[in-house]
Structure 1
Amino acid sequence: MRILSLCLIFLLVSCKTTYRRTDISSIPEAEKQKVYNFGKRIFETCKTRQFIQVTGREATQGLAELSLEEMQHACDALDKSNGKFIDMNLVEVIDDTFAGNSKIYRYKANFERNEFLKEIRIWLRTDGKFQGIIIQEWKDEYTPYKK
């Protein structure tokens, strides 16, 4: 019975999902800059209130359908809780090309008020289109985003 219990525990531990982190230095500078510029552009519009519609050429259909009203609402909520966006710093890249056909860029966001650390997560598909962007509470350990 003990052996069976130990085997089950070992099986449960070994089945834990792991995520492949990509060495940031192995990613081409042009790709890192493209993702950074996209994220910065989205959050800079919160300062200027001159929202730019994401195009279908640069993003998947779902992201390109993000309305200006939805962007306005998200910016209002961010401004209320954190103040104006300043910058973001790349912390890690998760290679999700096996399961999700994309790389996930994780940035720590810097705002006027950083009482609550925020993470900006940007999905870039292998075809070069942006698949998603979210902002959430920062956690040191990567956990997949759940809607």
Structure 2
Amino acid sequence: MRFFYLLILSLWFISCKTTYPKLSSDSISITEKQRVYDFGEKILKSCVTREFIQLSEKEVTKGLAKLSLEQMQKSCDYFDSVHGKFIDMELIEIIDDTYTNNSLIYRYKANFEKNIPLKEIRIWVQKNGKFSGIIYQDWKDEYVVNN
């Protein structure tokens, strides 16, 4: 009987889904939202202009600052060949990930020349204000954690 209870308890834990709270867009200052947008736009527009700038540890974490200009170039080559040029992005939601990663996650729907499939730009900002990550992936309406 004890085994049965442990099995039920295990299944219950497995079925639990971690949820991340969403922040109201109004709870973030317009200046901060613009700063995050500008960072993402700067990175993505560098693919269009081909003017790559080395990221500084004043603005980003050490891990992001280690990205080489060659790595940025390679990513841009892929973007351009698959999705075309970056046009714009729209902030959809802000996820509070301070409990696990001490950061906020800004989720944008991205607009490229070729929007099949629709893409997401995700930007991580640590509580100290430094950018700690930027990725793009297929858009999903529900927030899905990246591992």
Structure 2 length-normalised TM: 0.91
What is the aligned partner in structure 2 of residue 65 from structure 1? 66
What is the aligned partner in structure 2 of residue 80 from structure 1? 81
Give, in angstroms, the shift of residue 145 of structure 1: 1.1
Give, in angstroms, the shift of residue 130 of structure 1: 0.3
Partner amino acid, structure 2, of 1:53: Q
- SS of the residue corresponding to residue 63 of structure 1 reads helix
Give the number of equivalent residue pairs: 144
Give, in angstroms, the shift of residue 7 of structure 1: 6.3
Structure 1 residue runs of 4 or more that deviate by more than 3 Å after TM superposition: 3-13
What is the aligned partner in structure 2 of residue 21 from structure 1? 22
Give, in angstroms, the shift of residue 26 of structure 1: 1.2
Structure 1 length-normalised TM: 0.91
Aligned runs of 1:29-108 on 2, under 5 Å?
A: 29-108=30-109
5+ long unaligned stretches in structure 2: none
Deviations 1:108-137 (A, max 9, x none): 100111121111000000000000001111
Partner amino acid, structure 2, of 1:114: N
The share of aligned pairs that are identical, in percent, is 55
Give, in angstroms, the shift of residue 98 of structure 1: 1.1
1:143 has 2:144 as partner: yes
5+ long unaligned stretches in structure 1: none
Deviations 1:64-113 (A, max 9, x none): 11100000010010101110000010011110011100000000100111
Partner amino acid, structure 2, of 1:101: N
RMSD of aligned residue pairs (Cα, Å)? 1.6
